[in-house]
Amino acid sequence: MNWFGRVALVCAAIPAGKVATYGQIAVLCGEPRRARQVGRVLHQGASSAAFRVVNRQGYLSGAGAFPVPGLQRELLQADGIAVEGDQVDLERYLWRPSEEELKELEQAFTQAGI
């Protein structure tokens, strides 16, 4: 399995105005125990949508995750997501993929050979 590719595809599927958690991405990639590795992949530049990924409590990534302090907050706010302190309201903004979106992800994995 191409872990890097799967993470990139899942992140690219996160809709504007929504966020996903590291653990959620790991589950969608078929490896539920690899949430920490999702962060590593994103830090390596796997996806331009990495700013839409937060921790399981809705907190923004650490300062080292983005080259400019406050960049994740700015990108989320530009995406229509309210950030209070350093946290996003997951009840409001968490991406909950539909059955159709899940099927599209599986098709994307298959087409990419991953």
**Predicted confidence (pLDDT) per residue in 86-104, tens digit:** 999 999 999 999 999 999 9
From 70, 89, 28, 18, select the one nearest 49 (Cα to Cα).
18
Which residue type, as a one-letter code, is found at position 90? Answer: L
For the whole model, what pTM was predicted?
0.92
Structure tokens given for 88? 């996003």
> Domains of the chain: which residue ranges?
3-112
Which residue type, as a one-letter code, is found at position 67? Answer: P
Helices (H), 29-87: 35-43, 71-78
Phi, psi (deg, nearest 5) at residue 47: -155, 140
> Residue 47's pLDDT is what?
78
Answer yes or no: is pLDDT of 46 > 80. Answer: no
Architecture per CATH, domain 3-112, reads as Orthogonal Bundle (1.10)
